[in-house]
Every structure is written in C-alpha cells, then in structure tokens.
A and B are shown apart, each in its own frame.
Chain A
Amino acid sequence: MTIPALIDKFDTAEIVRDQVASILANEIASQKALATLAAKNPADWDVKVYTERANPWANNSPTANVWWDGSTLDPKGSNHVEHQVYLATFNVDCYGFGQSSNVVTGGHVPGDEHAAKEAQRVARLVRNILQAAEYTYLNLRAVVSGRTITTIRNMQPQQDANPSQHVAAARLTLEVKLIEASPQVAQETLDALGVTIKRASDGQVLAQADYTT
C-alpha cells in the first residue's frame, strides 16, 4: 500500500526559512525609505538577503544568508499520527566587507575594524527586525507558535590567510517552534451507526443503537 496523494507542498520549515528572508528583505527596504525621510544615508541600512547560498560571495555588499540548520522533535506537543511539533533552527549569517581607506582630515580607517563593525551592523538590523513584536509568529500564526534568536556569535577571521579584502561574519541562530503535518490515511466509511445514550430511572446508562441495513 502506498500514499495515494502526491506530496506537493513545502514543509513548514521551508516556508519559515523563506518567510524569514522575505521579512528581512521587506523591512530593510522599508528602513532605507525611512532613513531617506530622516535625511540619513540609506546605504547605512542596506543589506542584501539570500537563502541557502553556498557559492562563494564575490560582491562587497553587506549580506545576510538565511539557511535552515535542522529541526528537533518536541515530543510534548506531538502525536505519532497527525502532526509533530519541531524546534527548527535557522542560521542567519551576516557578512561585512571592509577596506582600509584614507581619511582626508587625518589618519585612515582600518579595513579589519570596518569589516567587523559592518558585520555587526548587519546583525543588529537582523536581530531588531526578527525580534520585533510584529514578527512574534513570523506572520505564520497557524503553524508557528514562537520564535527567538538564541545565539549571536561573531566569527573570528583567519589570521594566516592575509587576504587583501577584509571579511567578517556574525551568525544569529533563530529557533522557531513550528508544526509539521504529514499525509494521513483517507477515512473510509465502513458502516453508518446511530447511537442514542439514555439514562434509566435507576441511573444505569443505556445505549440504543440503530443499524442501517
């Protein structure tokens, strides 16, 4: 016996991953517009958002990459048949690129410091957006019961590589409690049975059943 229906849907974890990226992209666009209205440089709120990227980056733009790390079953909210509750882990890797540059009034901006602070700027934006009250359930209330950024880690750059281009990264770990459903057995009516429950005068519970023929 096989599953009769085509499995033609995304799992909740995949939907959440794409939703996180969509929220970030939309909010960053909104932040840049707000910055312009506030007479500030919108480039200071710019981040390019990607999902599940593994190819090497070649651009120098501040970047966030959202990827699904995995899911762990929460047995308390799950049942063996119909739906399971998972704690899904998503990583948002924030990249900052820095280049040393001249300061006209004196001195220079060190590229390594610039890269690290850029990565932290991206992480700051991502954390504020994803932890905002509007996104408590990531706009997926039916399948998401909560989300929290549990870890923020600044990566240490390699010291021995000596690249000409400074790159720094910070990783935010987002944990989301979500529900996954799975194909169910289609109900088959074996017989129709009507039961009337009555209580006798002595308190005894009686069942009167009607069988269709």
Chain B
Amino acid sequence: MGLRETAERDLGRILENRDEWGWDITLTDPSGTSAPLVGLSYDISQSVDPDTGQLITGRFAHVVLRVSSILLAGLAIPENVADSSQKPWLVAFNDIQGTPYTFKVSHASPDRTLGSVSCTLEGYAP
C-alpha cells in the first residue's frame, strides 16, 4: 500500500474517531436522501465586515468528511447548489450543548488527492 492509500485510510482515525474529535454529522443530498456520518465539525463566532466600517457579529461553520464514507453511504460528494429551484445539500449536527443545527453547504472543497471534502456552511431554515 502506498503512502497516499495509507493517508486515506488514516482519515478514518483522524476524522471519524468518536473517542477523539470525530462528531456525528448528518449529510442530506438535494433529493432528500440522508446518511449519518462522522467527521470534524466547527461552529464558531466570526466578525463579518459588510464594507461599511461596521462589524457584524457572525458565525462560521464548517465540516470535514471522508469521501469514501460518503460514497459508501450512497451519496455523492456535496457541493454548493446555486439554483434556487433545487434543494441544497444540507449538513446537520449538534453543538457541544446538544442543540441541533441545520446548515446548507455554501462551498465545498474536495481533496481528491487524499480523499476528504471540506464544506463551508451557511445557516438554513428547514
């Protein structure tokens, strides 16, 4: 097994280990098909500058998932859906207090070299 395959396999230990930083994440595709996954999730505070010189207290949410696990679950690699006539890719996970949140995938960066996909999220009202 080459180093790249080894690195891809290591993603399972890095991203999907619930005893470490792995977190339960539900991924839903535009057709409504969902899959429970484990990955890294972030939901932190961030200041937004709308270019008026005034800052907005905002939020930055992000997940990193293993592509092979997504494909094994029967889903495709998530991506942004700009067409408003379609449903977007959705990501749902709880915060550390157990409060559930649902997000829309606003930007996806798949790493096809090592087999992970990093998704930037935006708030979504289901």
The chain A residues found within 8 Å of chain B, CB to CB, are 53-54, 56-58, 65, 93, 95, 99-103, 106-111, 113, 155-158, 161-169, 171
Binding-face segment, B8-16, B64-72, B102-110: B102-110
- Determine if A168 and B50 form an interchain contact, defined as CB atoms under 8 angstroms apart: yes
The residues of B that contact A110 with a CB separation of less than 8 Å are 82, 84
Closest 3 CB pairs of A and B: A101-B125, A169-B50, A155-B51
- Determine if B123 and A167 form an interchain contact, defined as CB atoms under 8 angstroms apart: no
The residues of A that contact B126 with a CB separation of less than 8 Å are 101-102
- Determine if B55 and A108 form an interchain contact, defined as CB atoms under 8 angstroms apart: no
The residues of A that contact B106 with a CB separation of less than 8 Å are 100, 111, 162
Q: Kindly supply a per-residue 1/0 record for chain B positions 47-85, scoring 1 wherever the CB is within 8 Å of any chain A CB and 0 otherwise.
A: 111111011111111000000000000000000011111
A158 nearest in chain B by CB position: B49
- Determine if B48 and A100 form an interchain contact, defined as CB atoms under 8 angstroms apart: no
- Determine if B51 and A158 form an interchain contact, defined as CB atoms under 8 angstroms apart: yes
Interface centre among B50, B51, B106, B125 (most CB of A within 10 A): B50
Interface centre among B54, B58, B104, B106 (most CB of A within 10 A): B54
The residues of B that contact A156 with a CB separation of less than 8 Å are 51
- Determine if B84 and A161 form an interchain contact, defined as CB atoms under 8 angstroms apart: no
**Nearest CB in chain A: distance from B62 CB, A:** 8
CA distance A107 to B83 in the complex (A): 8
Interface membership of B17, Cβ < 8 A: no
A65 nearest in chain B by CB position: B54
Whether A161 touches B49, Cβ cut-off 8 Å, given contacts A107-B84, A109-B84, is yes
Please pick, from B52, B59, B87, B120, the residue contacting A108 in the complex, using a CB distance under 8 A: B87
The residues of B that contact A157 with a CB separation of less than 8 Å are 50-51
CA distance A2 to B126 in the complex (A): 68
Interface membership of B46, Cβ < 8 A: yes
